Chains A and B, each alone.
Chain A
């Protein structure tokens, strides 16, 4: 490595490394004033990031229980293996036709599990070919700053680098292109709180199926 390229490397590192880590809190409400849970908030800093393996604190697992996917929305880093344990007394037939990961897990019974590797980023909608009412989502991301909102509609992304970034908020029933809104923000070194109002459409009614 020449002197010149070594210098460039150091400069790049200086710019890339977070000068300051900030906490970014986002609260999401619907136009009718209700807290929106299960909204996925991701922050993509504009400056290049030092590559590091991304780990989230929650399990990479979608359980089938009471004829539902639990959790309804799961965020995982790109390249993760997600397990799909069945806790129901009946079999399920889990599938997705989403372009980020089309797959199909043929029938398996109680207390059995299968796993799927999600190698592309994107939204993967889950369904069950036996129970039309079963709906779930796996969100595959390549940023460590990602989290879904809790019952109070709030998310805190900790240790985000100060500086310009793209903030994205996605919800399966959001009335917006790709069910997502996007904002360019500058994260101040002291952290910030961002309030977002989104328009939701009613969840599709799967209560009846023959």
Chain B
């Protein structure tokens, strides 16, 4: 297992390279009460339809469905802790670990933040380490929890599971007139397998976050690809020696709205692999986002993502895997009184397989290899803030999808699932 060791070494190098040399000791706060944030998520779910992808199936949700009946499951969905020591007045660190139901306990994020006091209207911030790039409009805080619903959109569910690089990122913000602008640029590694789960399983909707040293299970693979590719995918892995990059632009005109555009490319070489059949995927995508506060009570969010992922060698016709993916959602949320919030979300998602008869596979089962998918989902959520440290969520979610590769589990290509969830979030 070389990967965790490499990762530890990389974080260590960052620590030595970037730890503040000059210490203003009065500004140092390593272990006081306020450096710790924790959260417990107590969940009761009732789900119909397929078995969850978490167990290596094609189910789109976090919990197993009971087929045509409802499967009820109480769980400690998540126990999370973040440690945010302050190393100097401009340097801080975030170490975030979680025990998620369905995933082995693991480190989620670990990064340094450099944020000097602004000396003018131009502000600067840098982050370095294992972190979530700023793509999701639905997550917030050190623990990267969803704000409006229990379950994030398909786009941000995928970000949570396969877009977590070891990055060095710099952001500059500045107002120009009444408009606020920000630009972020980053280089990264350790995200070489990004796209694997999306390719073999398709889109999903869940609030799980990528483990750092552990794996995602993959659904059954077709006869060709199950030779070279493992049934387990490690989302944080350095396989080829290529450095990827991402960038983000944000514009906030004085109308209460913020627009952003994000581009990611891990520049994978497609053909490097680890001994345990983890491949270096070439994954790139665009994400556009809008966050519009119509007034004090109503807010509209939307994201559109479109990308492509490739892996493997070139066969007689195409490379082993060449898949386009796209999704979009619109979310509307309204505050009700002082404590309540009602949210609705509608989304669509699809994948298109450009290599359904790839490699040596052309003579075997074509349909099984086609990773084409079309689907949509509708979510309604109600959140009540009980105390500053407790919130109660109710959520109803329906997802429907057509996926050709379900042939591999001998189930109909079209599947629908409905889930009702209650979540009590206790923070400390």
> Residues of A at under 8 Å CB distance from B?
89-91, 93, 95, 97, 102, 104, 106-107, 109, 127, 129, 175, 201-205, 207-208, 210
Contacts and interface: CB of A to CB of B under 8 A. Distances in A.
Pick from A89, A109, A202, A210 the residue with the most CB of B within 10 Å. A210
A95 B89 CA distance: 12
Contacts of B86: 91, 107
B68 interface: no
Interface string B276-299: 000000000000000101000000
B26 interface: yes
Interface residues of B, number: 27
B118 A95 contact: yes
B71 interface: no
B214 interface: no
B29 A104 contact: no
Interface in B248-284: 252, 254-258
B115 A205 contact: no
Nearest to B37: A90
| A interface: dominant SS | loop
A39 B229 CA distance: 65
B137 A97 contact: no
A107 B254 contact: no
B12 to A, nearest CB: 24
B241 interface: no
Top 10 A-B residue pairs of the complex, sorted by shortest distance between their CB atoms: A202-B256, A201-B254, A90-B34, A95-B117, A129-B117, A104-B117, A106-B89, A210-B134, A205-B293, A97-B118
Contacts of A175: 178, 254
Given A89-B34, A129-B117, A210-B134, A202 B254 contact: yes
Given A129-B115, A202-B255, A205-B252, A107 B27 contact: yes
Given A91-B29, A107-B29, A127-B118, A208 B291 contact: yes
B385 to A, nearest CB: 13
A129 B118 contact: yes
Interface of B: 24, 26-27, 29, 33-34, 86, 89, 115, 117-121, 134, 137, 140, 178, 180, 252, 254-258, 291, 293
Contacts of A104: 117
B254 A91 contact: no
Given A127-B118, A201-B254, 8 more contacts: A91-B29, A97-B119, A129-B115, A129-B117, A175-B254, A202-B254, A202-B293, A208-B137
16 contacts: A90-B34, A91-B86, A95-B117, A97-B118, A106-B24, A106-B26, A107-B27, A107-B29, A129-B89, A175-B254, A202-B255, A203-B256, A204-B254, A205-B252, A207-B293, A208-B291
A97 B122 CA distance: 10
Contact of B252 (A89, A97, A204): A204
Contacts of A89: 33-34
Nearest to A129: B117
B29 A97 contact: no
A140 to B, nearest CB: 19
B343 to A, nearest CB: 14
Contacts of B117: 93, 95, 104, 129
